[in-house]
Chains A and B, each alone.
Chain A
Amino acid sequence: MSLKQKLISIVGEQYVSDGLAEKYVYSFDMTENPPKRPAMVVMPESVQQLQQIVRIANKDRVPLVPFVTGQNIGGLTIPQVDDAVTVDLKRMNKIVEVDDEAMYAVVEPGVTFGHLRKYLDEHNPSLTYTYPLAPPYTSVLANALLQGLCDLSTMRGAMGDFINGLEAILPTGEIVRAGSAIMGDGNWFGRYPLPDLVGLFSGWQGMSGFVTKIAVQLWPKKQFTRHAALFTFGEVPTTELLKRIARAQLIDDADCMSLSIVKMLLGVSPPVQVYGGEPDYGTLLTLSGNIEKEADAKYELIETFVEDARKNESRQLLVDWDAISRMLGDQAKSWVDFPSDAFKVLTEYDGLTWVGTYIHPKHWGEALSGGRKIVEKYGFELMAYLKPMNSMHFGEFKFIIRFPKDDATVEKVRHCNEELLDFALSLKALPYKTPVWAAKKLQQNADPGFVELLKRIRKTLDPNGIMNPGRWGL
C-alpha cells in the first residue's frame, strides 16, 4: 500500500491531497524564506487519526511538518527536506474546556484567536485571553508554543509563559501529557511543582511531536480600562521612558511603533514617509483597574513619568485615548478591543517579514537605533515595533518589512534581514519564531553545549528524525 493509500485509510480520501495546487500553496508563506513543496498534505480530525499518521510516518521514515494556518512570519511551516508530508491540523478545532474558576482554556490546534474570543464573549464574559498583532485567524496553540507576544505581554511576558500544560503525540506515537493534567481531565491549572516537560515542546517548532491540546491561562477582565497614546522622540529616550513605566507595573501592555505604522493605521498609503519634526514613535498604553480610581491613579503616575522625561526631551507627549479616537474613529476602538484587527496594515503586499528578537533591557535602545539605520540604508519603510516584556525583565523589538515578492525585492529583504539579525546577535538578542537561516546564525553565536543538548533531546524523542526535520538548523 502506498503512503497516500495508508493516509486515505486513516482520514478519508477527501482529506489527503498530492495535487499540484495543494503542494504549491503549502510550499511557502508570506516571508522571504525559500519555498519547498511537500509531497502531500493530510488533514486529520482527531487525536486518534493523528496518532495513526505519526505511527505510520515513524515506521516508514516519512518527514512530517505541522501546519495550522501558516502565518507565523518565520517560514516555520515550509518543509526543509524532500518528500515531507504537511499535516494540516485545522480540522482539530475544538475548545475542549474553559475553567472559569482556575481561569484556563484547553484548546486544540485549529482554534484561532477569533474563535476563542467569540467563545469567551458568549460563555465566559468575565474572562479574556491575550491577543497578538496577528491575523484574527491564527492558531492559539501555535502562537503559545512559538512563544510569541500579545496584548498582556508587557505585564506578563511571552505567550509561552501562559501555558499551563499540554497533551502531545511523541514522534514514536505515544500520547503524553505535561502539567497538572497528568492527574486527569478538568485539572489543567498549572505546570508546577513538576519537572517542566512543557519545555520539551514549547519553542521547538514542532520538532519534538504534535501538541494536540494546550491549556492556556485566561485573565479576568478588569472593570475599568484606559488607553493613552505616547508620542516620543529618539530611540534611547523612548525606551528609557517605556522601561520606567513598565517597571512600575502600571500598564497591562505597551505597543510602541514607528510613527509610520501609526500613519498606516490612519490610512496613509504606501510608501509611508515620516517628516522632520514628527515624533519617531507612537505607543499605545493600556492600563486597567478594578475601580475607576485605580486606573486613574495609574494614569496620573504615567503623566508624572512623562513630565519627568520632558525635562530631557520636551517634545515627549502623552495623549488621552479620547483625542486619538476622534482622529481614528472606529479604528481606535477596534484596535484596542482586538489588536488582531490592526493586522490589516500589514496586508499591503504579498510579502511580510520581520526580524524579531527578545533582548536585555540594557541593549534595547541601542538595538532600536542601530536597526533603524540598517532599514533606512536598504530604503524600506521604517516599521519598528517594540514592547516592554514581563514588567521589563526584557524587551522585544522587531523591524517589519512589507514588500512585493518579486525576485529583486525578495533578495534585498534577505540581505536587510541578515544584517538586522547580525546586529541583534551582536547585542546577544534572541530571535523569536526563528527561521532556519536565523537559527543557523544563532547557533554560531550560542553556547555549543546548548546546541548539543538540543540534538541529544531530539534524538531521544525522535530517533528516526521524522518531526519537522531541518528546523532550528538541526
Chain B
Amino acid sequence: MSPYESVIADWLHRCNRCGTCKYIFRDYGPSCPSGEQYRFESYFASGRISIARALTTGEIDWQESLLKPTFACTECGACQIQCMAPHREHIVEMIEELRSLVVDKLGPLPPHRAIAESISRKHNPYEATHHNREIVQQLNLPDKADTVLFLGCTSNYKETSVRDATLSVLKKAGINFTVVDEYCCGSPLLRTGQRAFARQAAEHNLEAFEKAGAERVITSCAGCYRTLSKDYKKLGFDLDIDLLHSVQLVNELLTEKKLKVTQQGSIGRVTYHDPCHLGRHMGVYEEPRQMLGVLPVEFVEMHPNEKNAWCCGAGGGVKSSFPELAQATAAIRLGHARAVNADILVSACPFCKRNLSDANQGQVAKVLDIVELVDLAT
C-alpha cells in the first residue's frame, strides 16, 4: 500500500488560477522558471494543478502530450511562496503526486527511467562505480561514529571538490565522523514520480546509519538534506537522528571558533544562491549568510534572494530531461550574480553548483560551493 495519501484529492477544489504564483508578491518579478520558459498556462503551477484535477476527475485521459507540462518543472517551490490560497503549502506535493500518477500510467521519461535503473544497479544516478568504502579506507575513518557524513551522489561522483572540501573541513574541525555505505537518498526518484524505488534506498540508508551508531547525519547536498529530513518521514520512517546540512554545522564551528579563518586578504566579491531544497523547502537562509559574514569575502546579496530566490534550474529531473530549461534558468540566475558584479557565485548544493557551472559563460569568474570557500579560508 502506498504510504502517501492523495494530496490532490485533499485540495481538489482549491486553485482558481488567480495567477499569484507566477510572480514574486509585491516585487512583480517572475517566480516560475518553467512558466517563464514555456509561457503556456499549463506550465505554471496553476496549470499543473488543473491537469492533476482533470486526471483525477476523469475530465481528461492519459496522453503522451501531458508529459512535458507535467515534468518540465524544477519543483523549486517558488509558487508555494507566492500563492495565497489555502492549498499553498502543498503545491509541490501535488506536482509530485501528479508525476507519480503519470509514471504509473504512461511510464517515466526515458532519462528518468535511466536514472532509476542506474540507482537500482549502482546505487547512484550517474552510472558511476559505487565506492563509498574507499573513502573510509583512504581517510582511515572509523567503522562507527556519532556523526555520519552523507556524501550524496552528485558530490561523490560529479562535484567531487564539494565532497573533498566537506571532508577536509570536518577533519580540520576535529569532528569524529565516518562515511557509511550510502545509496542514493532517493531524491531523483521521488522528484520524477518513481516513488516505488525510493523506499528501498531509504531502508538501506537508515540501516547503514544505525549500523554506524549515528546520532547525527550531516550532508552538503541540499537535495539529500530535504529528502532525509522530509521525505523519509513521509515514506513512513521514524528517524531518531539529528539531520543537519553542512552549513548548519560549519556555521556553528565558525561561530565557536572550532574552525579558524586563516586566509589573509579577501577571496573576492561573493554572492550567495539559495538552493531551493535548502531555502524554500527547509527554511535555511541565515546560516550561509552568517558564514559569509565571517569569511574573508566581500559579500553582496543578489536579487531575488532567500524565499524568493530564482531557481538554479537543475532540480525536479529537469537537468536530465529538459536541458534547455535547465540552461535558460541557470543563465538567468547567473545574470542576477553579474548584476551585482560578483566574482564568485556560491551555493550550498552540489547540484546547483553543477548546473550553474555548466551554464556559466563568463557571467562570474567562479561557481563554488560554500563549503569549498570555507575550506579555502580555514
Given A15-B39, A25-B51, A26-B41, A347 and B68 touching (CB < 8 A)?
A: no
A346 contact set on B, CB distance < 8 A = 16, 18
Given A30-B17, A88-B41, A19 and B65 touching (CB < 8 A)?
A: yes
The answer to whether A348 and B86 touch across the interface, beta carbons within 8 angstroms, is: yes
Q: Does A115 contact B (CB under 8 A)?
A: yes
Q: Does B66 contact A (CB under 8 A)?
A: yes
The answer to whether B84 and A14 touch across the interface, beta carbons within 8 angstroms, is: no
Binding site secondary structure of chain B: loop
CA distance A196 to B45 in the complex (A): 41
Given A43-B40, A136-B20, A349 and B13 touching (CB < 8 A)?
A: yes
Chain A, Cβ-Cβ closest to B29 = A118
CA distance A34 to B286 in the complex (A): 49
The answer to whether B16 and A351 touch across the interface, beta carbons within 8 angstroms, is: yes
Q: Which of B52-60, B73-81, B331-339 contacts A (4 or more CB under 8 A)?
A: B52-60
A137 contact set on B, CB distance < 8 A = 19-20, 22-23
Q: Does B240 contact A (CB under 8 A)?
A: no
**Interface size class, chain A:** 35 or more
The answer to whether B40 and A22 touch across the interface, beta carbons within 8 angstroms, is: yes
- Minimal beta-carbon separation of A38 from chain B (angstroms): 12
B38 contact set on A, CB distance < 8 A = 14
Chain A, Cβ-Cβ closest to B19 = A137
Q: Does B14 contact A (CB under 8 A)?
A: yes
Q: Does A199 contact B (CB under 8 A)?
A: no
The one of A24, A344, A347, A352 in contact with B59, judged by C-beta atoms closer than 8 angstroms, is A24
The answer to whether B28 and A30 touch across the interface, beta carbons within 8 angstroms, is: no
CA distance A337 to B107 in the complex (A): 49
B19 contact set on A, CB distance < 8 A = 69, 71, 135, 137-138
A29 contact set on B, CB distance < 8 A = 17
B-contact 0/1 string along A101-120, CB 8 Å cutoff: 00000000000101101100
A14 contact set on B, CB distance < 8 A = 38
The answer to whether A25 and B84 touch across the interface, beta carbons within 8 angstroms, is: no
The answer to whether A135 and B20 touch across the interface, beta carbons within 8 angstroms, is: yes
Q: Which of A185-237 contact B (CB under 8 A)?
A: none
The answer to whether B16 and A20 touch across the interface, beta carbons within 8 angstroms, is: no
Chain A, Cβ-Cβ closest to B50 = A25
The one of B14, B22, B53, B65 in contact with A21, judged by C-beta atoms closer than 8 angstroms, is B65
Given A19-B65, A21-B66, A117-B28, A71 and B39 touching (CB < 8 A)?
A: no
Binding site for A on B (CB under 8 A): 12-20, 22-23, 25-28, 38-42, 47, 50-51, 53-54, 59-61, 63, 65-66, 68-70, 84-86
Query: What are 22 of the A-B contact pairs (CB < 8 Å)?
Result: A19-B65, A19-B66, A20-B60, A21-B51, A22-B41, A22-B69, A25-B40, A25-B50, A26-B41, A70-B41, A91-B39, A115-B28, A135-B18, A136-B20, A137-B19, A137-B20, A347-B15, A348-B86, A350-B14, A350-B53, A404-B12, A404-B13
